[in-house]
Structure 1
């Protein structure tokens, strides 16, 4: 196996599982903090990490299948372990996180990681179990009703429409293909809800469907919390973001395209207690929505990794990978950092955001843009090339078309 990454600093090498925007954001964070190039591994090359100077990509056939993953990751481990003191392994997707958790017996021979146990992962990633845990630990979440394949034709909801609908088992759901598929749905009435359920279950889904009271409000009521907990289960970094524009494409619903960093002491305190009581370790990422009806932040899910838009944390001056390195490589004693530095992260052009942002967020967003207090994941002055310039320009051009086609369309 050829050595693609030959950093002068041989103390550690970031090995990133994934080739998407999340992976590029992590690589950019490492480059900004340490001036090093990362290695990205995946099953297919994606534009976000292609022909980059800060991350080199290796792809393997069906890399997300257990047998292939073990085979290839061990080859990478054996090869690069000869050149670097530590190989720091980071997942940028649910499936890669699952593979790390399931194959620690192999990975621990070559890589340094900080992820929770498989038992805790199963409980937190299954939304039914997660909401039960929220009950136990006092986290607010939307009113929820569970539908299974057995009862999908005979049920009565305990709350009114509109409702949100999503698969409880996201890993099973992601592999399904059917017309009209979305990451999440909004149903205005029972007929629409039944159409959604029929489409999902007819496609072969076997898990439960989560039906929730739809919390009123537009993008400006959505929030995302990033956190890092050290190997001892102590929270060392918390960074809250206020979503000001979501992704509206069918496969992108639930992702964010623009976030303003915004601190909240009450949120920080509540979620720190939750994570530490659980003895959670590693990155965590919570999606939540502010419910104006009762003044509570209500959580939808936890990702047991940094999220797709987590570069907003680094953009706002809190480089998330530094906490990982200080903990796992440098073994430093860290004080807990509660980030508070309003800054705008973008995954779309500024002009497009100003066209579609809600009136409640417009003034703040416009001011941050005018003051040049914003950053993007893909644009990086240290990683310029003609290819990347053309690629990003095309990516932004498509964003205009997607907003025109999908904006505020979350139904069937």
Structure 2
């Protein structure tokens, strides 16, 4: 807690998950302020918290943009005189803010780049083109319009090396609002017929956008890395962090999210991330997913997200608070010297007892265990100033649920991570 809380600040955050709580925790640690969290209904990570004031818009209400904008404006009017910062951490919420940006920016500081830059970064096909122009690796990818004929799909899939992954090209902005049987965040497919079946499923589920058929980079979860940062108004990445994914989430709706991260500086990946972010023109928070191809050792950038990311608290574990950099930039108008998170540690909300089973790289495992011998793992929901029995019980039950999910969806590590 700071000695002098910045009571003029009011973070307003959209969502309910661990990433949302992590943002609120970062603001509380840095500035001693409570956050307002706007969501549809109560959920464990944000419930019974002494650092969060919840505003509920009702089940399904977050999909009603006029309701959400009206709620945000009402919150701002009720807190006139304070500096409000609007934080979003889901693709569909980013898109909602972009569509209503002019109205919202009358009341809020919005740490997002221009609409053009944000949408360009979210477009995975565009990301591949930019990365290629910089000599940065990305998997071979082919776009598939769900409205096209199946014969067109088949012809385009002829250019894709299998196994492959199918995922929405826009990062899930529209796709993320759809719910249908068999829906996944990404679809691993072994051949053309499996890819066609996945395309039919998505099309029949109501998605009329573009899917990306992308070469599956082999390797288990530990070949995946994350890079996060904050880019100030001048285009300087003033905060940068990287980490090895020791274990990802494998539930269909959460594929691609990290459950345990080993915070470890990777200068080469951070440099490539800086160049990529600069070329796209992003400002504000960024998160990137990378996989090191075990066939040639080349880093393949999979995603560039114009938001702080679900696992954002790993940056704090590494010794930097990303929201402090944002406030310095947008509220105080003060440029910071670029910094990199160099303190090693383990971030996780999946029990770390699992790493002995899932981390097959014995050298990496020894490295992680040596760090854990000196420093306990950091769970973003385990925060001493926000401690109470109900939150402790939720955290324990959530840990059990994660173990059950692993037993069901990923009982043993595989050479593909699927």
**TM class by smaller structure:** over 0.9
The total of aligned residue pairs comes to 404
From 248, 253, 265, give the equivalent of 1:251.
Answer: 253
Secondary structure, counterpart of 1:121 in structure 2: helix
The answer to whether the Cα contact below 8 Å between 2:140 and 2:214 also exists between their aligned partners in 1 is yes
From 236, 239, 242, give the equivalent of 2:238.
Answer: 236
What is the Cα deviation at residue 372 of structure 1? 2.2
Counterpart in 1 of 2:142? 145
Q: Distance in 2 between matches of 1:119 and 1:411?
A: 33
Which consecutive unaligned segments of at least 5 residues does structure 1 have?
A: 1-6
- Pair 1:133 & 2:127 matched: no
Secondary structure, counterpart of 2:150 in structure 1: coil
- How does the TM-score come out when normalised to structure 2? 0.91
The answer to whether the Cα contact below 8 Å between 1:81 and 1:87 also exists between their aligned partners in 2 is no
Deviations 1:80-131 (A, max 9, x none): 124x2x1122112112222222222222222112211222222221222222
Q: Distance in 2 between matches of 1:277 and 1:93?
A: 23
The answer to whether the Cα contact below 8 Å between 2:345 and 2:372 also exists between their aligned partners in 1 is no
The range that moved more, 21-30 or 31-40, is 31-40
The answer to whether the Cα contact below 8 Å between 2:9 and 2:33 also exists between their aligned partners in 1 is no
Counterpart in 2 of 1:206? 208
Deviations 1:340-365 (A, max 9, x none): 22211011112233333333432223
Q: Distance in 1 between matches of 2:218 and 2:138?
A: 14
- Pair 1:108 & 2:105 matched: yes
The answer to whether the Cα contact below 8 Å between 2:130 and 2:276 also exists between their aligned partners in 1 is no
Counterpart in 1 of 2:158? 157
Note the aligned Cα RMSD (angstroms): 2.1
Q: Distance in 2 between matches of 1:143 and 1:278?
A: 19
The range that moved more, 375-384 or 101-110, is 101-110
What is the Cα deviation at residue 36 of structure 1? 2.1
What is the Cα deviation at residue 151 of structure 1? 4.4
Counterpart in 2 of 1:193? 195
Task: From the superposition, tell whether residues 211 and 48 of structure 1 become closer, same or farther in structure 2 (CA, over 3 Å).
Answer: same
Counterpart in 2 of 1:3? none
What is the Cα deviation at residue 79 of structure 1? 0.6
Deviations 1:160-215 (A, max 9, x none): 32111212131222223332221112112233222212211121221222112211
1:3-402 → structure 2 map (5 Å cutoff): 9-61=6-58, 62-82=61-81, 84=82, 86-149=83-146, 150-153=148-151, 154-155=154-155, 156-169=157-170, 170-360=172-362, 361-402=364-405
What is the Cα deviation at residue 21 of structure 1? 0.9
Structure 1 runs of 4+ aligned residues shifted over 6 Å read: 409-412
The answer to whether the Cα contact below 8 Å between 1:185 and 1:411 also exists between their aligned partners in 2 is no
The answer to whether the Cα contact below 8 Å between 2:12 and 2:86 also exists between their aligned partners in 1 is yes
- How does the TM-score come out when normalised to structure 1? 0.92
The answer to whether the Cα contact below 8 Å between 1:244 and 1:358 also exists between their aligned partners in 2 is no
Task: From the superposition, tell whether residues 181 and 278 of structure 1 become closer, same or farther in structure 2 (CA, over 3 Å).
Answer: closer
Deviations 1:129-162 (A, max 9, x none): 2222323343310011222231434324224321
Q: Distance in 1 between matches of 2:329 and 2:383?
A: 27
